[in-house]
Amino acid sequence: MSDVSLMVNGKRVSGAAEDRTLLVHFLRENLGLTGTHVGCDTSQCGACVVHVDGKAVKSCTMLAVQASGSTVLTIEGLANGADLHPVQAAFKEHHGLQCGFCTPGMIMTATDMISRHPEGLDEATVRAELDGNICRCTGYHNIVKAILAASTTMKGSKGKAKQAA
């Protein structure tokens, strides 16, 4: 067993984990953060995506001990209280989900994608960047629409913040 200490969704957390424990299992089972899903055992589906030190990572591909000392953001930490994050709001607005199983991973991938493309996104880029996230329900159309809409909203709000500064 090893001690794992992380900053998760703005809170310092620690616990003992076997060396083979994956980050996704540590989040779900030790911390009760079950919004991060496990949809495969081949690192293909992307249901487990979280941010580690600001970057989207499939949390089934990392050991909890490897993540020790890092800052982790999960789907539970994305909203600002009752206010949905713009990507969450866009998924709601554009019906970017059906059963919802893939949605936490899609949203965490999308927020990372948008932050890496501050100039904005086009459909081809969104579809290419979603390569590592599988949805078994939607046919992707509304997910892509939601990500494009969120990208536009977030670009606009950054512009306004700049103007106000």
Contact residues: ligand FES, CB under 6 A = 38-40, 43-48, 58, 60, 97-103, 135-138
DSSP-derived pairing of the beta strands 11-17 and 49-52? unpaired
Of 111, 100, 99, give the one whose Cα is nearest residue 147: 111
Least distance from ligand FES to the Cβ atom of residue 136, Å? 4
| 65/107 with CB nearer ligand FES | 107
Residue (8 or 56) nearer to ligand FES, CB: 56
CB atoms within 10 A of CB 41: 8
C-beta of 48: minimal distance to ligand FES in Å? 3
Type of residue at 148: L
Based on CB atoms, which residue is closest to ligand FES, 39 or 86?
A: 39
State whether residue 148 is helix, strand or coil. Answer: helix
- Cβ proximity to ligand FES: between 58 and 85 the closer is 58
Residue 5 C-beta: closest distance to ligand FES, Å:
23
Beta strands in 31-158 (DSSP E): 49-52, 55-58, 71-73
Query: What's the rounded Cα separation, in Å, for the pair 142 and 29?
Result: 31
SS3 158: helix
Minimum CB–partner distance for residue 149 and ligand FES (Å): 17
Beta strand pairing call for 2-8 and 71-73? parallel
CB nearer ligand FES, residue 68 or residue 98: 98
CB of 162 to ligand FES, least distance (A): 35
The SS3 of residue 164 is helix
